[in-house]
Amino acid sequence: MTYITSTQERHIDIVDIPSLEKLVQANMAKGAFGYLAGAAEDELVLKANPLAFNHKHIVPRVLQDIQDPDLTTEFLGLKLSSPIIGVPIAAHGLVHEKAELATAQGVAKAGTIFSLSTYGNATVDEVAAVAPDSPKFFQLYMSKDDDFNRWILDKAIKGGYKAIILTADSTLGGYRESDIINNFTFPNVMRNLEEWSKLSTDSENGAGEGIAAIYAKAKQALSLRDITFIKDYTHLPVFVKGIQSAHDVEPLINAGVDGIWVSNHGGRQLDAGPASFDVLADIAKAVNKRVPIIFDSGVRRGQHVFKALANGADIVGIGRPMLWGLNLGGSQGVTDVFEHFKKELRINMQLAGAHTIAEVKETKLIDA
C-alpha cells in the first residue's frame, strides 16, 4: 500500500492556526494525522501548552509613537526576519511528498531558521542542497552506535548547519494512545537511516516501523558527556532541547551547552508535567542570560511569541503549524504560516506599544 500524501504547492489563506489544523485533518490519513497532532497519555500537556500563555497578560502602553514595528532579530550572528523559527520534526513526508525539502525552502523564503531532524524523510545533504544560503540547525537523535553519530555529524558540518540540537526529552517515546489505536507505522523511509543502512550491516531504514522500533535503535542513556562528545567532534554550538527544570540549567551550562531549549516536545512525551510556558520564566532566571534560550511547545498565536519573548526566550519555535502549512501549500504554505505569525506578532507589538523585539523582551507581563 502506498501512502497518499499532499502534492500541493500554492499560496494558502490563513485565518488562524486551529482552523488550519482542521483543514489538514480532513486532508490526511487518520494514523499520520494522529501521530502529528496527538500527544502522550491524556494529552493534558498538549491542551495545557497553548492555554498556558493565558496565565500572563500583556498590559498595553499607549501613545508610544509607533508605526510599523520592527520584527527583525539576530541569533548566533544570524540575521532573521523575525524571532520565529522552525523546530525539528521527524518525517515531514507524512504531510507532503516533498517533505523536508519543501519545508526547508519555505522556511528559507520566510527568512528564518530551519531545523532538520535525524528522522527526516530527506537527508542532511539533500536539505543543505535545496537551502544552501539560509540558516539551518541539525537535530541529533543519538544512536547507540557512535559510528552513526560521527557519520551524520560530519554531514551536518559539511552541510553548513549552524548548530546541533541534542534532543534530551525523548530517550523513548511518550505513551501516545492514538498511535496504538491507529496501529501507526511510518509509511516513508527515514532517509538518513536508509543511507546509513546501505553503508552498514543494519538493514532497517525506518519505513514501516512502529514508533517503539525507531526509538529502540536510539541511545536512551543520554548524559552530559554527550554534549562534550558533540562539541568536541563538531566545534558547533550545541543546544539541549527538552528542558523543563531550572535545576537542569547549572549542570548543562557547566557541561558547555550553548543554548537551553525549553520545550516539552509539544506534549508528546511526559504528560505528568507542566505546560512549557509555565516553566519558562524560572528557567530564564536560572540561565540569567549566560546562554540563549530557545522556546517551543504550544505556540499558536503571535501573542504567544510575544509572551514567550517577554518571559525570557530569545527565539521561539513553531512545529505543528509549520507542517499544516506544508500539507496545504507546500513550501509556499510553510512561508505563509510564518508570515501569518509575523502579521499577528506585528499587530500585538503595535497595540502593546513595543517598537522592536528588544522592547518586547523587556516587557513585563502581569499574572492573569
Q: Which amino acid is at 181?
A: I
Task: Confirm or deny that 117 is annotated as ligand binding.
Answer: yes
Report the candidate in 144, 29, 156 with the shortest Cα–Cα distance to residue 94: 29
CA distances from 205 to 93, 182, 187 (A): 14, 21, 11
Q: Which of 313, 287, 284, 302 is nearest to 348 (CA)?
A: 302
Catalytic residue, chosen from 92, 96, 265, 304, is 265
Of 65 and 133, nearer to its own copies (C-beta) is: 65
Q: Shortest Cβ distance from residue 90 to its own copies (Å)?
A: 17
Does position 307 interact with its own copies (CB under 8 A)? The reply is yes
Residue 26 contacts its own copies per CB under 8 A: no
Residue 203 assigned ligand-binding role:
no
Residue 70 grid cell: 520592527
Quote the DSSP letter at residue 364: P
Least Å distance, CB 143 to its own copies, is 14
Q: What letter represents residue 324's amino acid?
A: W
- Using CB under 8 A as the binding rule, whether residue 169 contacts its own copies is answered as yes
Distance from C-alpha of 168 to C-alpha of 245, rounded to nearest angstrom: 12
Query: What is the SS3 assignment for 337?
Result: helix
Decide if 311 contacts 56 (C-beta within 8 A): yes
Judge whether 357 is annotated as a binding position.
no
- Collapse the DSSP code of 161 into the 3-class scheme (helix H, G, I; strand E, B; otherwise coil) and give the result: coil
DSSP conformation class of 275: -
Does 221 engage in binding with its own copies (CB under 8 A)? yes
Whether 265 is catalytic: yes
As a whole number of angstroms, the distance between CA 256 and CA 26 comes to 45
Q: For its own copies, which is the closer residue by CB, 26 or 368? A: 368
268 among annotated binding-site residues: yes
Count of CB atoms situated within 10 Å of the CB of 213: 13
> Cβ of 10: how many Cβ atoms within 10 Å?
11
Determine the interface stretch with its own copies among 113-121, 123-131, 177-185, 186-194 (rule: CB under 8 A). Answer: 177-185
Binding mask 125-164 for its own copies (x = CB under 8 A): ----------------------------------------
- How many residues interact with its own copies (rule CB under 8 A)? 66
Give residue for cell 519543501. 102
367 vs 47, 51, 309, 310, 359, CA distance in Å? 20, 14, 16, 13, 19
* Min CB(96)–its own copies separation in Å: 25
121 binds its own copies (CB under 8 A): no
Residue whose CB is less far from its own copies, 174 or 319: 174
Q: Compute the distance between CA of residue 336 and CA of residue 12 in angstroms, rounded to an integer.
A: 7
176 is in an annotated binding site: yes
CB of 238 to its own copies, least distance (A): 12
Residue 291 within binding range of its own copies, rule CB under 8 A: no
Q: Does 360 bind its own copies (CB under 8 A)?
A: no
62 contributes a contact to its own copies by CB under 8 A: yes
Which secondary structure element, helix H or strand E, spans residue 138, and what is its range? strand 136-140
- Which residues are marked as active site? 265
Binding site for its own copies (CB under 8 A): 15-16, 41-42, 44, 53-54, 57-68, 168-169, 171-175, 177, 180-181, 220-224, 226-227, 240, 242-245, 247-248, 251-252, 269-274, 279, 301-303, 306-307, 343-344, 347-348, 350-352, 366, 368
Q: Which residues are annotated as a binding site for glyoxylate?
A: 35, 141, 167, 176, 263, 265, 268
Q: Which residues are annotated as a binding site?
A: 35, 88-90, 117, 139, 141, 167, 176, 241, 263, 265, 268, 296-300, 319-320
